[in-house]
Amino acid sequence: MSIMKILSILVLVLFPLSSMACSSPKAGFGYPMEKLIDQSKNIFLVQMVSVAEEGFTNTYSLKVVEVLKGNAPEIINFVNYGSKYQDNDFDNHNNIKFWVKDNIGRSKWPCCICGPDHSFKKGVNYLFFPDLLGAIKSAEIVNNKNDKWYKFVQKRINQ
């Protein structure tokens, strides 16, 4: 097979994949935790009140439980693209892995959606950064007020 035929086949195979890639990541992409906190206009502790499932998407309705920064609407809607629920709270965020890597959080970042695919569960609190949902740590589980991430965010805001 000639080199031109191989290149043509390669282009035809790769072109559809590139058209599905994310052209522009969500705001907050790649932010380290300090920048995430500092640049966020709104930081809330939220709980899911309902979920509407439709095909491969879930639309979560989130109720603001506490305002750490900014102005909260009564309900926040967030669309998830089918990722399964991730319940990793990094042992109340005491696990060193959460703190040493900016690209680690509870939510997965699947192909082509331009940000982490956060999922939510009723009765669980989440520290939510609605302005910068491209940051991997923008919807972490906070089981209690002694959670290390929750305390870190509060301290950083109050500096």
Asked if residue 17 is part of any domain, the answer here is: no
| Residue 139: strand, helix, or coil | strand
pLDDT per position as a tens digit, 95-105: 999 999 778 88
Percent residues over pLDDT 70 in the chain: 80
pLDDT greater than 80 at residue 135: yes
Assign 11 a pLDDT band (cuts: 50, 70, 90).
Answer: very low
Asked if residue 11 is part of any domain, the answer here is: no
CA–CA dist 123, 14 (Å, integer): 43
Asked if residue 9 is part of any domain, the answer here is: no
Count of C-beta atoms within a 10 Å radius of residue 71: 9
Number of domains comprising the chain: 1
The CATH number given to whatever domain includes residue 99 is 2.40.50
Please, what is the average pLDDT of the chain? 83
Asked if residue 127 is part of any domain, the answer here is: yes
pLDDT greater than 80 at residue 142: yes
Q: Which residues of 36-54 are buried (b: 16+ CB within 10 A; e: fewer)?
A: bbeebebbbbbbbeebeee
pLDDT greater than 50 at residue 146: yes
Chain centroid offset of residue 8 CA:
38
Asked if residue 146 is part of any domain, the answer here is: yes
Query: Is the pLDDT higher at 118 or at 65?
Result: 65
Query: Is the pLDDT higher at 18 or at 6?
Result: 6
**What is the span of the domain harbouring residue 129?**
23-157
